[in-house]
Structures are given as structure tokens and as C-alpha cells.
Structure 1
């Protein structure tokens, strides 16, 4: 189930042994329980869940069978495993949760079965940390119980939302209320009739010279007067029901002033704290998708004969199998390193590692799923799991920040490492030698 093949240790910048990737006894026990639950209740029911999702009269209604599975998981104590440092969760670190999320991610129905699906996980963490007691009672408590769902409204169609400081939605104080006006889209989970609360990010102080203190986050009940769902957005032509992604209009939406989270101007701060765990959870699940795609690809190749020998023995497929294993293990090690860093130095200290995995994990999953589709031939594009997995992993290259933004941040962090260092200590001169031996270190060619 995707455990590293050997005990892995990495070192910190000082050369000290720091990261031990051998799973703890606690983690191993939970891995076995989650894997057993998936084998008993998720995989056997997966096709039935896909069929119901695509054929029921009201496509936006929750899947009754998945609801039954959730109750089983809850009864077995396999519930809210993502939530650290809380009496409501399992108290797992990111390192401990990573292999569990990987197993859950092998099926699109896995995370919700354990009440560990996005965007609820990030929203529950925000409510746990920042919400008032009355809001925890109204929304956090039923979210933790799996009775309602939630959504996070940040992205907007009129601006490049990859730069969150661009958002234009207005959050204006008016006495004891805030008035919200704006246009949001890609609001995952909002079409779900169980969605009862939105966390909305907008500008409360657009004139603030500090662009990162212009934004606030506020809780909006849903449905609510002034909030209109314009449409459910298609994903590669599919409406992605019953979860879905909505385009919402906020027209003079009024909510109590007490609904502001943490205070005015703290929205960007909350967003950064929320998106760190959210990004790593996505990456953990992506690795699960890649592992399952590789397994299915190999089993398919071994069952087919072409040009006189098993397809699995064709050199091109052996190369792809090997490359898949290399990519998966590289992605997993990077993800575990990011998890370790988040646990030890915090999300800000791990921002380079988070940026790396957010680029790597969906890309390798996309590639391996694509190869699996190719291995299945015409059946690959008709296979519901493969097609939905490809669509989701391709979408993840945009969600929670596009690849380009993460690469840009990583490049700037890397450049900063060398700004005040002596290149003579590391051989870091731009021009060290050319073929005729005339160039000298540090001199222009």
C-alpha cells in the first residue's frame, strides 16, 4: 500500500540525522485498519457509487450507500484522522497522517468515507483555530460529525486568482454587520445540498499599503439571502456531481460582524495557514492515485498479448513501469520531507518543500494515469476510475495555486539562499572554465 521499501533517513542542513521515515507502530496499525476498510467497503462498492452518481434523478443528492459506509467508518473510530492537536481528531502529525491519506486517495470516495475530504478538512482546521464558540457549535460540530459539508470561496473569474492579493470581492463594515459583494467560482462542494457554510475571502481594506493586510475571511451561512448559485462548473465536460464546483454571486449579502474570522486584515494569514495542510493532503492522495494506476497498469499489461508476446514484456512498457516506480518514490519522499518540516518548523518554514510537492505529486500522478489509460487502450478512456482520476489530477495542477506560482516561489527562495554567501567557498562562480582554458572564475567570457 505504498510504504517506502526501506527505512529512509534524511539529514538537516547541518548533517544531523533528522527525518526518520520508518512508520511508527501507531501509524502501521492505522494503515492496516484503513487499508482493510477500503478493501471491505470502498473498492467493492466503487462501481455502484460511480453508477449512482451518474444515473440518479437528482444528481446532486448525497450518495446513500456512501452515507452508510461513513457510518461504519465512524463506528470503527476511523474518523477525522486529518485533524491534529484537537480532541476531535486522532491527534496525528502530518508525518503520521501522510500514509493514511495515500491509501484513502486510491478511490475518489475514500476521503469522504473517513470524513477527511476537501474542502471540509481545511475549513474544519480554520474553524477549530479561529472561530468563536457559537460558530463552532453551529458549524464545526456538525462538520466533525459528518452531518453537513462546507465550501471555501476565494477564487474569482475576473482576476488572476493565482495571486490572492488580486481578489476583488468587497467585505464592507456597516454597523453591526458586514456587507459582501463579489463574484466567485470554483467553489468546491457548494452545489452539494449538505453545504451549510461558506468561508469567504474578500477585501475589507483595499487601500491598505500592505497588500497582504487588505483581505479578510468571513463566515456566510448557506444558502443565504443575496448568495446566488449561477451554475455548477463543468470539469472536462462533466459536472462532477454530487460534489461539484459552483460559480457564486454575492449581491449585498449581510452577515453579523461577529462572523469575521480572527479580525479584519487577517485573511491572507489564515489562507496561508489553511492552504499548507490542504496542499499536502492533496499530494498525499495523489500518490495513492499514482500507486493504484501503476498496479492496474501492470495487471492489464500482464493479461494482454500483442505481436507474439505479453504486452508487459514490451520494452516500452517496462521502461514506463520503471519510470513510474521512480517517480512515485521520489514524490513520496518529498512529501514525507514536507510533512516532517511542517511538523517541526511550521508551514512557513516548510514553504519550499510544500511548493515542490504541489508541483511534483499531481504531475507524476497525471503521467502515470495517462500511461495506464494507454495500457488499457480504448477501454482506458471508458474506464470511470481512470478518466475521473486523470481529470482530478489535471485539475490539481491549478487548484491551491498553479504549478507556475509554486515554481516561481521556489525559484525565488532558491535564489535567496546565495545572495549573501561567498561563491569561493562552494565553487559557485558563474564561469569556471571553458575548453581552451582561458576563462578565469568570476570573469565574464
Structure 2
């Protein structure tokens, strides 16, 4: 196993058995095995995986094979579709460890959980049989097409991609962007299928579009603050798909999307916690390794403030993410908990990374450490899945509504 500082343990001790926050033994064992695998196998392979090409594909295949051999593949997928079936509230503890590497979810089979569940719950039998086994086996790569260039992603009523009914199928025309379409086998495309004036909740439909369909074109790579996250702008020019490629009922696209959103935001927040933990560990070890003015940086009060602020922010974000996961798993109305978790985890990641870069100084600005790339990728988290401002606005409105008309009664919002 790799024993570089980036992979060293960062927990001073295992929680006592009486600790009310301690995990059950079976989860502790599984979490430790995943942590050992991510830090010992995945993180050391990051330079090869980032380089792309045949070497990266071979490394991915090798790592996925090792994950399967070690019983670590597909932990989050339901048993009925070939996964381990861990409940979400349990899986979040493991997903945080997977997320220490941006490649962890892909290597361990959880990256495309949303697409697998969507097909399992909403696809036609023909589409399910065609794509679901490949997603679970790691041989089929999906992507998702929702946002459009030149339009606010927060207002889906502005979406202009249209699907027109034809004999035996649908013809789709429009553009999507910020879709991880590079190397994908199919895209789930949200389209307007009903006339203007029909309520949004009944006006849009989702379709599966194979990326090799005539008229499906990758327009350009979208470099996100200098990093290639496989995001592309896509043009669909008269693309035709059969009726069996419709996901859910006609006009029910938003309902299907809503089924993805709460779980998707929660899972991403879990991965951001893992990235925050990794940055925190790098920062703390650097403080012990570096001296300035004849003293270790760890002895400086301002540096200690960085440690305290980062620790408390990570713990607060984790608590909110666990609450969100419990709400989603219970099937409750989860938006407030999930949106708060998404914003808090995103802000925490950005703030912890900023402090870690500051502690590393000039070295933190270049790719000699993982921090530079992590920092650039983290900024986008405050925009993905709805910008922070939208969630803050919507959550505040819902909380305030609970207090309206009853000023003398404490509302049950906690």
C-alpha cells in the first residue's frame, strides 16, 4: 500500500463502543477496507487516470477488477439489480471515503447510481434490458442532459430542446451543455414535448439517446477553470429515438428528474465531505512538516485557527448530510434538508481547500500537490445542482412559511 503523506491515517483513535456516533462494526470494517483501497490503490493511480488515453482506461479496468475481487463494487446499488443494497444512511459513511479521490466513485461502481435507479424505476423493459446490465457491470457509461447554453439552469421553463412525435418514435432538436458526454454511451435528455402554456410539471419528457445516433454531435469541450471534467456541449439535430426510449410517462419528465435530484445532491455532498477530509489531512500534515522563523507552522495561532475552523465546518456539514440522507431514505419531503446539506458541504469544501492552499503557499498553487486541481474543481460545486443563492432563497421561504400566522407557537422545523 502507498504510505505517502496523502494516504496516511488522519483519525487519532477509533470511537469507543459507547460513543453514540460510533458506526456498527460491520460498517466500520467496510469503511476501513474502502479507505485502505482508495488511499492505497486509487489515489496513487490518479496521475495515470488524469492523463487519459489507453493507459488510463487500462488503469480503470484494473482498479475496477480489484474492487470487485475485494467485494467493494456497487455497494450502493439495490440488491434486485445486482448491488449490495446498503441503505443510503449507511452508505453515506462509505461514500465519504470513496470521495477522497475524484475517481473513487467510478472505480467502486457508485458513480452512476442515479442512472441505474432511474432505469430500474422508470425505463421501459426494452431500455432497461439494453442499458442497465452494462451500467452495473461498468461497461456502459451514461450522461445527463438538462442544462442548455445561454439559459438559466435554475429556470427549466426556459428550456428549448424539443421532442416531436413521429411514427413509432420521437424527433429531438436542441442543445445541451455541462453534460459528461465525453466517452458516454447514451444521454438522458430532457425535452419539451407539450405546447407552451401547458404547466411545466406536465410539459417535459425524458428520453434515452444513444450517443452514436445520427444528428448527435459533440460541439466542444467545456474546460472548467482549466480542468477537463469530461463536460461537453452537445447538439441534437433531428435525432430520432423509438418510443421505448421514453423514460417514465409523457409529460412526467420533471417528476422523474425530481426522483434523481434529492438523492443526487445528497450523494455529491457526501463526496465533497471526502474531498474536505482529504484537504484537511493534507493541511494538518503540512503544518507539522513546515517551519517558518525557527518554529513549526503547527505552533502558529493563526494556523491553529485554520485547523479549528475546518474541523468544525466539516463536522457541521457531515451532520447535515446525515440528516439529509435519513430524510431521503425515509421518503419524507427532503428538499430543505438536502438543499441545506448541498450548500453547507459545498461551502465547507471551498473553505477548507482555500485554507489548505494558503498553508502550502506557492506549492499549493501548482500541481505538485492534489490541492490545485481539487481547488479549481470545488468552485463549480456552488453552481452544480442549483446555485447556492437559489437554495438559500427557497429554503428560507419554506422555513419562514412555517412561522407565518402563528407568531406565538414554535414551528417544528428542526
With normalisation by structure 2, the TM-score equals 0.91
| Pairing of 1:306-345 with structure 2 (within 5 A) | 306-345=292-331
* Counterpart-to-counterpart distance in 2, 1:159 and 1:151: 20
For the pair 1:125 / 2:117, whether they are aligned, the reply is: yes
* Counterpart-to-counterpart distance in 1, 2:188 and 2:21: 35
| Pairing of 1:81-230 with structure 2 (within 5 A) | 81-84=75-78, 86-117=80-111, 120-188=112-180, 190-192=181-183, 195-230=184-219
Q: Is the 8 A contact 2:227 2:373 kept in 1?
A: no
Q: 1:26 maps to what in 2?
A: 26
Greater mean alpha carbon deviation, residues 394-403 or residues 39-48: 39-48
Q: 2:242 maps to what in 1?
A: 256
Offset of 1:113 from its aligned partner?
A: 0.9
Q: Secondary structure at the match of 2:86?
A: coil
Q: Is the 8 A contact 2:222 2:228 kept in 1?
A: yes
Offset of 1:143 from its aligned partner?
A: 0.8
| Pairing of 1:415-434 with structure 2 (within 5 A) | 415-421=400-406, 423-426=407-410
Deviations 1:375-395 (A, max 9, x none): 111110113521221122211
* Counterpart-to-counterpart distance in 1, 2:68 and 2:206: 31
Q: 1:391 maps to what in 2?
A: 376
Offset of 1:374 from its aligned partner?
A: 1.1
Offset of 1:8 from its aligned partner?
A: 11
Offset of 1:417 from its aligned partner?
A: 0.6
Q: Secondary structure at the match of 2:76?
A: coil
* Counterpart-to-counterpart distance in 1, 2:374 and 2:402: 37
In the alignment, structure 2 segments of 5+ residues that lack a partner are 1-9
* Counterpart-to-counterpart distance in 2, 1:6 and 1:366: 31
Structure 1 residues 86 and 403, CA gap change in structure 2 (3 angstroms) = farther
| Pairing of 1:344-423 with structure 2 (within 5 A) | 344-346=330-332, 349-383=333-367, 384-421=369-406, 423=407
Q: 2:6 maps to what in 1?
A: none
Structure 1 residues 223 and 323, CA gap change in structure 2 (3 angstroms) = same
Structure 1 residues 122 and 319, CA gap change in structure 2 (3 angstroms) = same
Which of 1 and 2 has greater Rg?
Answer: 1
Q: 1:69 maps to what in 2?
A: 63
RMSD: 2.2
Structure 1 residues 48 and 220, CA gap change in structure 2 (3 angstroms) = closer
Q: Secondary structure at the match of 1:288?
A: helix
With normalisation by structure 1, the TM-score equals 0.85
Q: Secondary structure at the match of 2:239?
A: strand
Deviations 1:30-75 (A, max 9, x none): 212211222331133233434x33xx5x8xx853112201111012
Offset of 1:201 from its aligned partner?
A: 0.3
Offset of 1:281 from its aligned partner?
A: 0.8
Structure 1 residues 380 and 45, CA gap change in structure 2 (3 angstroms) = same
| Pairing of 1:262-281 with structure 2 (within 5 A) | 262-281=248-267
Q: 2:232 maps to what in 1?
A: 246
* Counterpart-to-counterpart distance in 2, 1:307 and 1:131: 64
Q: Secondary structure at the match of 2:109?
A: coil
Q: Is the 8 A contact 2:298 2:304 kept in 1?
A: yes
* Counterpart-to-counterpart distance in 1, 2:239 and 2:317: 43
Offset of 1:116 from its aligned partner?
A: 1.4
Q: How many residue pairs are counted as aligned between the two chains?
A: 400
Structure 1 residues 255 and 4, CA gap change in structure 2 (3 angstroms) = farther
